[in-house]
């Protein structure tokens, strides 16, 4: 049986993860935004030190692929010098904050994200995958983005902090936001959250304090599709994988002022010229937007199947949400999908209406059988 090597940590630039094509070096742009000059720098560094491929993760991080042990120290020095990575490995590891897209300088999301980032070192030691979202636009947009601590607004525009998995949160003032986060993090640690691993699991075992389950978050907003907006252009990145040539070409053609890396594997090019680049998704109704597929074999050593070719074929069939995973770790999608294929021993298990961890409806299918079955 193919048992994936579940790693209880996330790669960072300081501590990259080995994959089938070399080290993965992760960059988390601050509040998800880079000037176009920084975006070009990322592309240049990926060309110089990696294998020319960049991932865009579902939590709005970038990963330079194919880095060798020999060049990693030089790449790291360059990333720190460019202020794309914090010089302190501990702070860089803790800087797992996803900010609502479309924030503007000086707004609540910007102020909160900056304030939190300055004091992360004061938080207790949390499980390595712990994350924060600052989702304080008029409507929450990041409710399906993996995180443990969620800053959101209530229906009247007030601020709240919600433990992931709880339906309601705690009303807070902006000035007290970090202290409230610190208090919730301490509660998580002191009540055995380390063993639960993630907040969502922990709140099913341990009751939150009553006044932390009171404030009702505003209704979630619509997800943003690729296309042009008044202020710029959103493009989808198929499977979150792009070559440095594609990224450089897009930036040259669209000439944006800034680039936001968005959750759900999209880029927001601010003040961009409208362009259509063949390596990106511009059509808001593109079926590929509903498809997640990890790199699979041979790029990932855990995989026993290739993933993206079959995902592309199945995408055309409009099966709804589709997740093709090279193994049971399920890196590309954390939630359920209409159809999930999980690689195991060179074949696929098929889960309908569930996720990689759910009981499969069919097991041991060849690629041909999958294509026959999912017509
Ligand atoms: S889900 Fe895919 S990328 Fe993640 S470990 Fe498994 S094969 Fe590798």
Distance between Cα 328 and ligand 1 center (Å): 7
Let me know if residue 2 belongs to a domain: no
In a shared domain, residues 192 and 250: no
In a shared domain, residues 131 and 168: yes
Residue 214 has pLDDT above 60, yes or no: yes
In a shared domain, residues 127 and 207: yes
Counting the structural domains of the chain, the total is 3
Q: To the nearest whole number, what is the mean pLDDT of the chain?
A: 94
- Judge contact between 323 and 292, C-beta under 8 A: yes
Distance between Cα 329 and ligand 1 center (Å): 6
Ligand 1 pocket (Cβ < 6 Å) reads: 4, 294-296, 300, 302-303, 325-327, 329-331
What residue numbers bound the domain in which 207 lies?
A: 103-212
Q: Which atom of ligand 1 is nearest to the CA of 5?
A: 5
Distance between Cα 307 and ligand 1 center (Å): 10
Specify the pLDDT at position 334: 81
In a shared domain, residues 107 and 70: no
Let me know if residue 34 belongs to a domain: yes
In a shared domain, residues 88 and 229: yes
In a shared domain, residues 229 and 292: no
Task: Single out the residue of 374, 375, 342 nearest to residue 358, CA to CA.
Answer: 342
In a shared domain, residues 69 and 44: yes
Distance between Cα 136 and ligand 1 center (Å): 32
Pocket-testing residue among 295, 328, 356, 357, ligand 1, by greatest number of atoms within 8 A of Cβ: 295
Task: Single out the residue of 356, 354, 374 nearest to residue 365, CA to CA.
Answer: 374
In a shared domain, residues 245 and 201: no
Percent of the chain with pLDDT over 70: 98
Specify the pLDDT at position 8: 57
Let me know if residue 130 belongs to a domain: yes
What CATH number did the domain enclosing 169 receive? 3.30.413
The stretch 89-95 carries a mean pLDDT of 93
Ligand 1, atom 6, lies closest to the CA of 327
Specify the pLDDT at position 144: 85
Q: Note the pLDDT tens digit of each residue in 26-39.
A: 999 999 999 999 99
Distance between Cα 56 and ligand 1 center (Å): 15
Let me know if residue 325 belongs to a domain: yes
Distance between Cα 324 and ligand 1 center (Å): 10
Distance between Cα 301 and ligand 1 center (Å): 8
In a shared domain, residues 204 and 228: no
Residue with tokens 């993965």: 24
Ligand 1, atom 3, lies closest to the CA of 294
Specify the pLDDT at position 207: 96
What CATH number did the domain enclosing 54 receive? 3.90.480.10
What CATH number did the domain enclosing 325 receive? 3.30.413.10
Specify the pLDDT at position 2: 39
The stretch 278-284 carries a mean pLDDT of 96
Let me know if residue 37 belongs to a domain: yes
Pocket-testing residue among 327, 334, 341, ligand 1, by greatest number of atoms within 8 A of Cβ: 327
Specify the pLDDT at position 9: 66
In a shared domain, residues 198 and 243: no
In a shared domain, residues 79 and 58: yes
Let me know if residue 62 belongs to a domain: yes
108-119 and 177-190 helices cross at what angle (nearest 10)? 50
The stretch 234-243 carries a mean pLDDT of 96
Q: 1 or 337: whose pLDDT is higher?
A: 337
Distance between Cα 332 and ligand 1 center (Å): 8
Ligand 1, atom 4, lies closest to the CA of 331
Distance between Cα 11 and ligand 1 center (Å): 14
Let me know if residue 280 belongs to a domain: no
* CA terminus-to-terminus distance, the chain: 28
Pocket-testing residue among 53, 326, 343, 346, ligand 1, by greatest number of atoms within 8 A of Cβ: 326
Using the 3D structure, point to which of 162, 192, 212 is the last residue of a domain. Answer: 212
Q: Which atom of ligand 1 is nearest to the CA of 343?
A: 7
Q: Which of 224-228, 280-284, 350-354 has the lowest mean pLDDT?
A: 224-228
In a shared domain, residues 139 and 230: no
Contacting residues for 151 by C-beta, under 8 A, at least 6 apart: 112, 132, 133, 134, 135, 136, 159, 160, 161, 162, 177, 181
Q: Note the pLDDT tens digit of each residue in 157-199.
A: 999 999 999 999 999 999 999 999 999 999 999 999 999 999 9
Contacting residues for 290 by C-beta, under 8 A, at least 6 apart: 315, 320, 321, 322
Residue 270 pLDDT grade (very low, low, confident, very high; cuts 50, 70, 90): very high
Q: Note the pLDDT tens digit of each residue in 42-67.
A: 999 999 999 999 999 988 999 999 99
Instruction: Enter the tokens of residue 211.
Output: 């006044």
For strands 132-134 and 62-67, give the pairing: unpaired
Let me know if residue 302 belongs to a domain: yes
Residue 5 pLDDT grade (very low, low, confident, very high; cuts 50, 70, 90): very low
Q: How far is CA 318 from the centre of its chain?
A: 24
Q: Note the pLDDT tens digit of each residue in 353-366.
A: 999 999 999 999 99
Ligand 1, atom 2, lies closest to the CA of 326
Distance between Cα 2 and ligand 1 center (Å): 11
């Amino acid at each position: 049986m193919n048992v994936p090597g579940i790693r209880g940590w996330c790669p960072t630039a300081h501590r990259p993860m080995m994959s089938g094509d070399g080290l993965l070096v992760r960059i988390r742009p601050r509040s998800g935004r880079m000037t176009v000059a920084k975006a070009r720098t990322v592309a240049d560094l990926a060309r110089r030190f990696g294998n020319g491929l960049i991932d865009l993760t579902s939590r709005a991080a970038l990963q330079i692929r194919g880095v060798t042990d020999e060049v990693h120290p030089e790449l790291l020095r360059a990333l720190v010098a460019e202020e794309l990575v914090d010089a302190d490995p501990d702070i860089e590891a803790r800087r797992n904050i996803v900010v609502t897209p479309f924030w503007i300088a000086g707004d609540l999301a910007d102020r909160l994200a900056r304030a939190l980032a300055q004091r992360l070192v004061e938080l207790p030691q949390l499980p390595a995958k712990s994350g924060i979202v600052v989702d304080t636009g008029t409507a929450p947009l990041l409710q399906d983005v993996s995180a443990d601590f969620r800053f959101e607004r209530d229906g009247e525009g007030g601020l709240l902090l919600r433990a992931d998995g709880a339906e309601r949160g705690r009303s807070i003032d902006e000035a007290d936001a970090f202290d409230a986060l610190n208090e919730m993090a301490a509660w998580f640690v002191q009540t055995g959250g380390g063993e639960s691993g993630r907040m969502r699991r922990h709140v099913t075992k341990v009751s939150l304090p009553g006044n932390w389950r009171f404030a009702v978050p505003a209704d979630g907003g619509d997800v943003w599709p690729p296309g042009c907006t008044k202020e710029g252009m959103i493009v989808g990145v198929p499977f979150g994988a792009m070559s440095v040539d594609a990224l450089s070409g897009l930036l040259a053609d669209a000439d944006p002022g800034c680039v936001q890396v968005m959750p759900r594997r999209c880029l927001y090019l601010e003040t961009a010229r409208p362009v259509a680049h063949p390596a990106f998704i511009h059509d808001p109704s593109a079926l590929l937007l509903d498809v997640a597929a990890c790199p699979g074999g041979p790029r990932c050593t855990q995989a026993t199947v290739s993933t993206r070719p079959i995902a592309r074929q199945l995408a055309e069939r409009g099966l709804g949400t589709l997740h093709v995973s090279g193994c049971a770790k399920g890196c590309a999608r954390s939630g359920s999908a209409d159809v999930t294929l999980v690689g195991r021993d060179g074949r696929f298990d098929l889960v309908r209406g569930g996720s990689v961890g759910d009981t499969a409806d069919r097991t041991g299918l060849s690629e041909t059988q999958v294509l026959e079955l999912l017509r």
